[in-house]
Amino acid sequence: MAIFRLTRLVAQSKTLTKHEPIIHLRTATTTPTGAILPEPQKQPFGLLCIVFAVVPGLLIGAAISKNIANFLEENELFVPSDDDDDDD
């Protein structure tokens, strides 16, 4: 009985380990038939768009940091020391 189960298990494992090769296609650069897609159009104001995205992000981040620093100082959670670091 145990030998029968063992042989059936081995036979099933052989059928499970047979893998067919899988071909991966990059659909971002090729069509389903395999043809290469044409070059994408370029944005005429690319650098200007980057500036309009980065500058507001920096300004908003600076304002948030300033508000958090004021909150920490008002609640005495973090108070910068006024000691002079001069070695004179």
E strands, the chain, are none
Strand partners, 36: 30
- Per-residue pLDDT reduced to its tens digit, 29-51: 888 888 888 988 887 888 898 99
Taking the domains of the chain in order of start, what are their residue ranges?
45-78
pLDDT at 5 over 70: yes
Q: How far is residue 73's CA from residue 79's CA, in Å, rounded to a whole number?
A: 5
Confirm whether pTM is higher than 0.85: no
Report residue 60: phi and psi, to 5°. -65, -40
According to the model, what pLDDT value does residue 20 have?
A: 64
Residue found under tokens 């659909």: 27
pLDDT at 16 over 60: no
Which position has the higher pLDDT, 38 or 2? 38
- With beta carbons less than 8 A apart as the criterion, state whether 26 and 32 touch: no
- Per-residue pLDDT reduced to its tens digit, 46-79: 889 899 999 999 999 999 999 999 999 899 888 7
For residue 37, give both structure tokens. Answer: 């897609």
Q: Which residues contact 5 (CB under 8 A, 6 or more apart)?
A: none
pLDDT at 85 over 70: no
